[in-house]
């Protein structure tokens, strides 16, 4: 990852002297949130100067942008049950920080999600080995292998399109494959369709997406109390669609979610600082080359 993948360089003239700034910008809700730091004045910064500035101050710019965007989102939505802008600010911070961490590290949370689901006892690393090398961990039963495989197949059905009752039935069939689980009845499908219609109507009216995902999840749990994996997959799918990289097991209730993100946010900030420093760490010695502007 180069500096230009995350930042841009701008100059501003003051008393006929050009001052060059490192600019970080993030976009959400069709708005841009920016922060800047002075690199040098007079002559354009070298690549080394730019990398050094990105390593030392890039994470500060990142966190400033995240704070601005989280505050904006906390104040723009309507709330059905949880009108708590302080808590929403923390949730939105987590959403943005997690996104930046994945952008910097190139990591994926799919294995983590599969390992966290009901009926799965193996670790995320075991899940990776199961799919990459076909190695079945010792003690893992056939049912558990089927559960993990079915969950993986259900995840592969995520296409970014609005969720429908028909897609929910298809997800349920995937999760039930080779397991003794009865198909959902037409009556249940009708009730799911009604709940989804209400969900998307509330989203259109600018109600808070995370809250609406949680309320729909609660409704599915009440409708199908024995179908934990199905409710979790629908919940996880909707959370991901709205940018929330949080596992269902970490967000069973509003209170659980707020407690989790408040504990995680300082750790994510630390991770982002570390990853940012490593990405743009300047090696000692060598010739400095002028920066190609972007």
Q: Are residues 23 and 112 in the same domain?
A: no
- Reported as a single tens digit per residue, the pLDDT across 85-138 is 999 999 999 999 999 888 888 766 789 999 999 999 989 999 988 888 888 888
Write the CA distances from 119 to 124, 138, 139, 175, 280, integer angstroms.
14, 16, 13, 12, 42
Residue 292, domain member (yes or no): no
Q: Are residues 212 and 249 in the same domain?
A: yes
Q: Say which residues have a Cβ less than 8 Å from residue 231's Cβ, sequence separation at least 6.
A: 217, 220, 221, 224, 248
Residue 207 has pLDDT above 90, yes or no: yes
Residue 286, domain member (yes or no): no
Q: Are residues 123 and 239 in the same domain?
A: yes
Q: Catalogue the E-assigned strands of 80-173.
A: none
CA atoms within 13 A on the CB side of 36: 12
Residue 147, domain member (yes or no): yes
> How confident is the model at residue 134, as a pLDDT?
83
Q: Are residues 204 and 143 in the same domain?
A: yes
Q: Are residues 45 and 91 in the same domain?
A: yes
**What is the pTM assigned to this prediction?**
0.87
> How confident is the model at residue 3, as a pLDDT?
66
Number of domains in the chain: 2
- Tokens found for residue 177: 């494959």
- Reported as a single tens digit per residue, the pLDDT across 211-264 is 999 999 999 999 999 999 999 999 999 999 999 999 999 999 999 999 999 999
Q: Say which residues have a Cβ less than 8 Å from residue 33's Cβ, sequence separation at least 6.
A: 25, 26, 27, 65, 68, 69, 72
Residue 86, domain member (yes or no): yes
Residue 141, domain member (yes or no): yes
Q: Are residues 250 and 137 in the same domain?
A: yes
DSSP code string of 258-277 = HHHHHHHHHHHHHHHHHHHH
Domain with 126 in it: what CATH number? 1.10.3290.10
Whole-angstrom Cα distance, residue 248 to residue 227?
Answer: 14
Q: Tell me the residue range of the domain where 18 lies.
A: 1-107+256-278
Residue 283, domain member (yes or no): no
Residue 113, domain member (yes or no): yes
> How confident is the model at residue 39, as a pLDDT?
93
Q: Are residues 125 and 66 in the same domain?
A: no
Whole-angstrom Cα distance, residue 71 to residue 282?
Answer: 34
- Reported as a single tens digit per residue, the pLDDT across 15-30 is 889 999 999 999 988 9
Q: Are residues 17 and 140 in the same domain?
A: no
Q: Are residues 199 and 244 in the same domain?
A: yes
- Reported as a single tens digit per residue, the pLDDT across 167-204 is 999 999 999 999 989 999 999 999 999 999 999 999 99
C-alpha 102: how far from chain center? 8
Q: Are residues 66 and 115 in the same domain?
A: no
Q: Are residues 171 and 249 in the same domain?
A: yes
Q: Are residues 139 and 156 in the same domain?
A: yes
Structural contact between residues 92 and 110, judged by C-beta atoms closer than 8 angstroms:
no
Residue 180, domain member (yes or no): yes
> How confident is the model at residue 7, as a pLDDT?
86
């Amino acid at each position: 990852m180069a500096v230009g993948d995350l930042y841009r360089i701008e100059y501003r003239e003051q008393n006929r002297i050009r001052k060059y700034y490192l600019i970080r910008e993030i976009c959400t809700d069709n708005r841009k949130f920016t922060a800047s730091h002075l690199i040098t004045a007079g002559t354009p910064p070298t690549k080394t100067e730019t990398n050094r500035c990105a390593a030392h101050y890039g994470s500060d710019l990142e966190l400033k942008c995240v704070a601005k965007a989280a505050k904006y989102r906390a104040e723009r939505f309507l709330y059905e049950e949880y009108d708590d802008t302080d808590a929403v600010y923390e949730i939105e911070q987590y959403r943005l920080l997690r996104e930046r961490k994945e952008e910097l590290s190139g990591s994926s949370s799919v294995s983590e999600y599969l390992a966290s689901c009901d009926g799965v006892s193996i670790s995320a690393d075991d899940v990776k080995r199961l799919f990459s090398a076909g190695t079945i961990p010792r003690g893992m039963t056939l049912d558990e292998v089927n559960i993990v495989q079915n969950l993986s197949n259900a995840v592969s059905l995520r296409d970014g399109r609005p969720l429908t009752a028909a897609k929910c039935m298809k997800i349920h069939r995937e999760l039930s494959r080779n397991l003794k689980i009865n198909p959902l009845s037409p009556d249940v499908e009708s009730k799911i369709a009604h709940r989804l219609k209400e969900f998307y109507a509330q989203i259109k009216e600018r109600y808070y997406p995370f809250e609406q995902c949680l309320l729909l999840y609660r409704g599915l749990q009440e409708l199908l109390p024995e179908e934990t994996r199905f409710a979790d997959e629908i919940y996880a799918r909707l959370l991901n669609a709205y940018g929330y990289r949080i596992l269902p097991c970490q967000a069973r209730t509003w209170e659980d979610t707020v407690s989790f993100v408040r504990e995680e946010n300082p750790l994510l900030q630390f991770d982002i600082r570390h990853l940012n420093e490593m990405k743009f760490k300047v090696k000692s010695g060598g010739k400095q080359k002028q920066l190609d502007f972007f």
